[in-house]
A and B are shown apart, each in its own frame.
Chain A
Amino acid sequence: MSHLAYLGVLAFVVVGSAWLEVVLRTRVFSRWRRLLLALTPVVAVFAVWDAYAVAAGHWTFDPERTTGIRLGTLPLEEVLFFVVVPLAAVLTLEAVRAVKRWEVGDEAPGSSVDGVRVDDDAPGGAA
């Protein structure tokens, strides 16, 4: 049972964030190609950092609290962490946009968001 501890923490992150797609219409999963392109370099960079940290002894994982499935030197859960947490971050950013209609910086030049003019709060604007 405790072998599922780390997976349980990941499940908490997924459950805590995925509902935003439905309730606030974040449209992150529906733009899965963009999501995949954004997450791939993140997983790569942080898996390398993590593998270095494990090799250098910065941190270790309790074999009693992980499934034991490994990808290279890292537990499967640790690699999934770099998918689940960034995904939650994108969902949160888009959730704030959905509710507040603030400019994020990826708007088409001269566009408005959903018929409501975007804010001019940020330097650089939408150009």
Chain B
Amino acid sequence: MTYTQLAVVGVVVVVLLDLVVLRTRLLARKVFWTAYAIIVFFQLVTNGLLTGLRIVRYDGAAIVGSTTPADAPPPFLGDGRIAYAPLEDLLFGFALVVLTLVLWVALGRRGVQRTPYAGPPRVRMPGGAERE
């Protein structure tokens, strides 16, 4: 299978794991999507560094875009790339993050170190909930 195909399979598997198999239903919660918005920004930076610095190089036959040139970074945007990294990295990263968070929550639901819950913050954060 190509990276493109595997990445799609990865996303489908973790979505089913969350909504059907373990029923953690993280994908239905705003806490997940808020966290994911922060995570995906840093994933773009991290994957952009790994790909833009050519630490990792991709085979054009395995991705939507084409091969990382041997002597130059891939385009920042276009040719199937977002911030240098292949589009597939976003799906790969989504599967990685969702699998992790689903397992983390599933363990908590089963009583594995459910508490202490996170918080309260030591510093007052913008947009933070009111404290009593």
Contact = CB atoms under 8 A, between A and B. Distances in A.
A, B in one complex: yes
Interface of A: 5-6, 9, 12-13, 16, 22-28, 30-31, 33-35, 37-39, 41-42, 45-46, 49, 53, 56-62, 65-66, 82, 85-86, 88-90, 92-108, 113-116, 121-124
Contact of B31 (A6, A46, A97): A97
Interface string B10-23: 10000000000001
Contacts of B113: 31, 33-34
B100 A98 contact: no
Given A57-B62, A96-B31, A105 B26 contact: yes
Given A49-B6, A89-B39, A101 B53 contact: no
Given A98-B121, A105-B109, A114-B119, A57 B59 contact: yes
Interface residues of B, number: 65
Contacts, number: 203
A98 B55 contact: no
Given A99-B127, A114-B119, A121-B30, A90 B101 contact: yes
Given A23-B123, A59-B62, A82-B96, A100 B114 contact: no
A79 B64 CA distance: 25
A58 B50 contact: no
A12 B49 contact: yes
11 contacts: A5-B55, A13-B46, A34-B107, A34-B108, A41-B99, A85-B43, A96-B31, A97-B118, A105-B24, A106-B108, A106-B114
Contact of B104 (A38, A45, A65, A82): A38
Given A42-B99, A89-B101, A96-B34, A61 B55 contact: yes
A92 B118 contact: no
Contacts of B120: 25, 98, 114
A2 to B, nearest CB: 9
A34 B112 contact: yes
